[in-house]
Every structure is written in structure tokens, then in C-alpha cells.
Structure 1
């Protein structure tokens, strides 16, 4: 092998190694920052990431909202009409948040089956619902007659 070919081969191998390393770093960072969406049925079946934030979406169950006196803490139930999850949030709720409306919360499950939300997102108009929430509600609806 001539010295010129040897230099080219080394350069090609270094470039390939660099691209591989950059791809590995990108995929690792992407994996750590991905946020899963789960429905209350999936959470009830213990199908959620442990000790990691994820999105929980569904409808706020009518009559479930309870405010803790002298604080900004509120508890409510998120349902997909097949299962319910109790959510606790401390902070100011969005203006459009109310019972019977779609909601997406971001947080993680505590050890006592309570979802501790860091952020609450309410649907922003009458016709919009996040696709994940709509799919989860549609999948759960035929299984339950309680809300019809």
C-alpha cells in the first residue's frame, strides 16, 4: 500500500469513527429527553416510566377537583372513561382548565399511586384535543358504559 493510499484510508476511518461517535451521542441524548404519553388505563396497568417524567392525558372527571385550603395545591382525577388517575398539582391552573374538559399533565407517579404534575395544559378551544388524548379516549370508550 502506498503512503498516499494509507493516509486516505486513515482519513476515511477517522471520519467514519467521528460520524459514528456523533450519532451515538445524539441518540443517547434523544433517548434521555423523550417524553412518553400515557393514558389513565396504561397508568393503572403500571405501564409507565419509573422515576421519569411522562405526559398523562384524558378528561378531568366531573366533581373530582379539590383545592387544598391556604395553598395553590389542587387535586383532580384524570380519566379516559375506563380508568382514573388522581393528579396533584401545585401552582396556578390554566384559565381554560375545568372539569369535563381535556387535559394533558406532565410529571411522574409517586409511590402512593398519585401523579405529581409539574405542568398542566388545558385544551385551548372547543374543537381541539391532542391526538394522543383523543386516541386514548376513543380506545377506552367502548369498554365503559358508566359515562354514556
Structure 2
């Protein structure tokens, strides 16, 4: 797909199988495969969404069931150091406290979560395309 890239992370993540999934240079997901050490709790695979300062996840055309599944995966801040700490966020029409910069986290996603992640990727792609169009105007 045009515009999609996977970028291997450095720094803290350099020793892990950790990638940023990007669309036209903007993050869509972060992927960790077989985390080790402090990240072993995230094995065999964890997927995080990224808000990137966008409000794409606040109110989107998801079914009630999709929203409820997202709410089960809101990424409560673990004070890992990747952001300044959790904040209050609206995630698909519901307010949450102490949410990480990565609004949603899916550890070992099953079939329903994988289908939802595909839907979330589509929403994020739409958000990014809209922001690209705004910059061109």
C-alpha cells in the first residue's frame, strides 16, 4: 500500500523487535514482538495506537461493540518514561483518566481485536489523509 512503512525503533527499544507502522510518515501503530526483559509482559505481540496530537480516536464511526472493545484496551499510563504521564482523554465518546500517549494497547490480540485493529488502521489512515489535504490547501 502506498505510503505505508515500518520503521525499526532505536534508543530504549533498540534491543527489542519493536517497529513503528507509519502512513505517509505519521504513526498508526507501534508493534512489539516477543518482548524481553522489562517488556516480557507484552509477549508474544502487543500493538499500541498513537494519537500523535490528533483527536481521531475521540469520536469515530464505530459500532457500540467496537467502542466497548476499545474501552477494554485503553492504555492506562504505566509511567514508562515514553511520555510525560497520563492525561484525561476521550476515547470513542467516553472519558478516561491517566491515559498514555498511546491511547489503546492490545496485548496478544485475538481474532476480534485483530479485526478491530484493521478498522482502527482505516480510521487513522483517513485521519492522516485529511490532515495531508489540509496542509496542501
Tell which structure's C-alpha radius of gyration is larger. Answer: 1
Greater strand share, structure number: 2
Normalising by structure 1, we get a TM-score of: 0.28
TM-score computed with the length of structure 2 as normaliser: 0.30
